[in-house]
Amino acid sequence: MTLPPPPGVGSSQRLAPAPQLAEMLMQIPWLCHVANATIERLAQQAVLHRVPAGSILFEQGEIPTFAPWLLHGAVELVGVDGDNEVMIETLQPFDLLLPAAILNRQPFLTRARALEASHLALIQADTFRDAVASDHALCLAILACEAAQFRRQVKLAKNLKLRPAEDRVGCYLLALVESHAMATTIRLPIEKRRIAGQLGMTRETLSRTLGAMANYGLRITGDTITVTDAQALRARFRLDPLIDAPEPIEPGPPLAL
């Protein structure tokens, strides 16, 4: 589920009416157990932020002054060392960006950049921390968010350390093919340089490995994948749910106290 772009937000940043912003937050599935009063309190101290593709949301090393909640679009987290960047993760709605840094008042470990036009709720950090401390259901929801983010990073580490380059690329493409059911022509969802960064290899290694996929039922031209033999692809590469399965944010209901 993805919320439509918020109506009437035409500038890069504009204060939205609190009821409108509260309604957007209430539609986030993993906040379903959080009291409306808590969400309304968060919305009172929040800004609805609209940014174009390529915008920097925060820099690596910044101390958080807000909790950014992704409502629409996509955001990439990248590690930075001088002029060098490495992609850590791509976030989709309705993820909360780096909540550990916000809760602990620690520097963001990555830069955050909008991959496409995106909308975020920016909640004042002190208000966010106070709400997490005082609302049991919200605390459980944020714990579930952090748990999902941690598990995604463990799966990424396993993918990088347990699989050779060809298997990483093959499993990435197999997951893409399976997600498009019976389609015989598929477009790569992001640029090849970003795929290479995600899979822990150079662009040149990725290009060579993509060329080798012709042996396993895929023909790749530019950013277009033509599936010529899906069975050959499945026979060569096997998806592992403990590496390749999505990691949803699923908090349980709060326990009665």
Q: Tell me: the pLDDT tens digits for 180-225?
A: 988 899 999 988 988 998 999 999 999 999 999 999 999 999 999 9
Residue-level pLDDT at 150: 96
Domain with CATH 2.60.120.10 in the chain: 13-160
The rounded percent of the chain whose pLDDT value lies above 90 is 84
**What is the second-level CATH architecture of the domain 164-244?**
Orthogonal Bundle (1.10)
Domain with CATH 1.10.10.10 in the chain: 164-244
Residue-level pLDDT at 194: 87
Of 126-135, 148-157, 175-184, the one with minimum mean pLDDT is: 175-184
Stretch 233-254: mean pLDDT: 93
Stretch 162-173: mean pLDDT: 97
pTM for the complete prediction? 0.87
pLDDT digits (tens, 9 = 90+) for 89-110: 999 999 999 999 999 999 999 9
Residue-level pLDDT at 7: 40
pLDDT digits (tens, 9 = 90+) for 141-164: 999 999 999 999 999 999 999 999
- Residue 113 near residue 59 (C-beta atoms within 8 A): no
Stretch 35-61: mean pLDDT: 96
- How far CA 165 is from CA of 49, 174, 177, in Å, comes to 38, 14, 18
CB atoms near residue 242 (< 10 Å): 9
Band of pLDDT at residue 11, cut at 50, 70 and 90 = very low
Where are any strands of DSSP class E within 7-117?
13-14, 46-51, 56-58, 66-72, 75-81, 84-91, 111-114
What is the homologous superfamily of the domain 13-160 according to CATH? Jelly Rolls (2.60.120.10)
Rg of the Cα atoms in the chain: 20
Which of 208, 211, 212, 198 minimizes the C-alpha distance to 168?
A: 198
- Residue 43 near residue 87 (C-beta atoms within 8 A): no
Residue-level pLDDT at 256: 62
Residue-level pLDDT at 16: 67
Residue-level pLDDT at 15: 53
Residue-level pLDDT at 17: 75
